[in-house]
Structure 1
Amino acid sequence: MSTRKPAPATKDDWLSLLRSVRLPQGMWVDGAWTGARSGATSPLTSPRDGQVIAHTPAADEDDIDAIVKSANKAFLSGVWSRLEPRERGEVLIRWADLLEEHRDEMALLVALEMGKPVTDAWSIELRTTINLIRWYGELADKLIDESPRGRGKALAVVTREPLGVIAAITPWNFPMTLSTFKVPAALIAGNSVVLKPASQSSLSMLRAAELAHQAGVPAGVLQVVTGSGPVTGAALGRHPGIATLTFTGSTEVGKQLLTYAGESNAKPVWLELGGKSPNIIFPDAPDMAEAIRTAAWAISFNSGQMCTAGSRLIVHESIRDEVVAGVVEHLSALRIGDPLDPATQFGPLASRRHRDEVLAEITKGIQSPAKLVLGCDQALDRPGWFVEPAVFVDVDPDSRLAQHEIFGPVLSVLTFSDEAEAIAIANNTDYGLGSAVWTSDLSRAHRLSRSIDAGMVWVNCFEEGDSSVPFGGRKLSGHGADKSVHGLEKFTALKMTWIAL
Structure 2
Amino acid sequence: MAPTTFSYDFSNEASGFGKKSSFPSGLFINGQFVDSVDSKTIELINPTTAKSLGHITVASEKDIDLAVEAAQKAFETTWGLHASGQERGKLLIRLAELIEENIEELAALESLDNGKAVAVAQAVDVQGAADVLRYYGGWADKVHGKTIETDDATFAYTRHEPIGVVGQITPWNFPIWMLAWKLGPALATGNAVVFKPSEWTPLTALRVASLIKEAGFPPGVVNIVPGIGNIAGAAISNHSGIGKVAFTGSTAVGRAIMKAAASSNLKRVTLELGGKSPTLVLDDCNLENAARWAAYGILANHGQVCCAGTRIYVQDNIYDKFLEKFLAVVKSVKLGDPFHPETFQGPQVSKTQFDRILNYIEHGKKEGATCLLGGQQHGTEGYFIQPTIFTDIKPEMRIVKEEIFGPVGVVAKFSNDEELIKLANDTVYGLAAAVFSENLSRAVKLANALKAGTVWVNTYNTIRTNVPFGGYKQSGQGRELGEYALDNYTQVKAVHINLSGPPPI
Scaled by the length of structure 2, the TM-score of the pair is 0.95
**Structure 1 position 299, deviation (Å):** 0.7
* Aligned match of 1:14: 16
* Aligned match of 2:171: 171
One-letter code of the match for 2:478? G
**Are residue 472 (structure 1) and residue 470 (structure 2) matched?**
yes
CA distance in 2, matches of 1:31, 1:455: 37
* Aligned match of 1:444: 442
* Aligned match of 1:222: 222
| Aligned pairs for 1:171-250 within 5 A | 171-250=171-250
* Aligned match of 1:252: 252
Do 2:388 and 2:408's aligned partners in 1 also have CA atoms closer than 8 Å? yes
* Aligned match of 1:382: 380
Q: How many residues align?
A: 490
1:444-477: CA deviation from partner (whole Å, max 9, x where unpaired) = 1221111100001111111223111101001110
One-letter code of the match for 1:288? L
User: Structure 2 vs 1, CA of residues 9 and 461 (structure 1 numbering), >3 Å: closer, same or farther?
Assistant: farther
SS in 1 for 2:427: coil
* Aligned match of 2:134: 134
**Structure 1 position 397, deviation (Å):** 2.2
| Aligned pairs for 1:10-409 within 5 A | 11-14=13-16, 16-17=18-19, 20-79=20-79, 81-149=81-149, 151-285=151-285, 287-376=286-375, 378-409=376-407
Alignment match of 2:415 (pick from 410, 414, 417): 417
CA distance in 2, matches of 1:32, 1:330: 48
Identity over the aligned pairs, expressed in percent?
38
CA distance in 2, matches of 1:487, 1:221: 19
CA distance in 2, matches of 1:10, 1:142: 47
User: Structure 2 vs 1, CA of residues 15 and 490 (structure 1 numbering), >3 Å: closer, same or farther?
Assistant: closer
**Structure 1 position 76, deviation (Å):** 0.8
CA distance in 1, matches of 2:96, 2:17: 25
CA distance in 1, matches of 2:76, 2:297: 45
CA distance in 2, matches of 1:15, 1:493: 43
SS in 1 for 2:410: strand
User: Structure 2 vs 1, CA of residues 356 and 23 (structure 1 numbering), >3 Å: closer, same or farther?
Assistant: farther
**Structure 1 position 80, deviation (Å):** 5.1
Do 1:24 and 1:203's aligned partners in 2 also have CA atoms closer than 8 Å? no
**Structure 1 position 424, deviation (Å):** 0.4
CA distance in 2, matches of 1:145, 1:404: 43
One-letter code of the match for 2:311? R
**Structure 1 position 9, deviation (Å):** 12
User: Structure 2 vs 1, CA of residues 211 and 446 (structure 1 numbering), >3 Å: closer, same or farther?
Assistant: same
* Aligned match of 2:457: 459
SS in 1 for 2:454: coil
One-letter code of the match for 1:169? I
Runs of 4+ in 1 over 2 A off after TM superposition: 8-17, 78-81
**Structure 1 position 14, deviation (Å):** 2.9
SS in 1 for 2:200: coil
1:130-164: CA deviation from partner (whole Å, max 9, x where unpaired) = 11100110121223311123532112101100011
CA distance in 1, matches of 2:217, 2:287: 48
CA distance in 2, matches of 1:250, 1:466: 23
* Aligned match of 1:485: 483
* Aligned match of 1:3: none
**Structure 1 position 13, deviation (Å):** 4.5
One-letter code of the match for 1:211? L
CA distance in 1, matches of 2:56, 2:487: 33
* Aligned match of 2:3: none
Structure 2 stretches of 5 or more lacking a match?
A: 1-9, 500-505
**Structure 1 position 195, deviation (Å):** 0.6
Do 1:23 and 1:203's aligned partners in 2 also have CA atoms closer than 8 Å? no
SS in 1 for 2:152: coil
CA distance in 1, matches of 2:231, 2:75: 25
SS in 1 for 2:328: helix
CA distance in 1, matches of 2:177, 2:26: 21
SS in 1 for 2:195: strand
SS in 1 for 2:151: coil
Do 1:11 and 1:342's aligned partners in 2 also have CA atoms closer than 8 Å? no
Do 2:25 and 2:57's aligned partners in 1 also have CA atoms closer than 8 Å? no
1:69-92: CA deviation from partner (whole Å, max 9, x where unpaired) = 111111111345421101110111
Do 2:17 and 2:108's aligned partners in 1 also have CA atoms closer than 8 Å? no
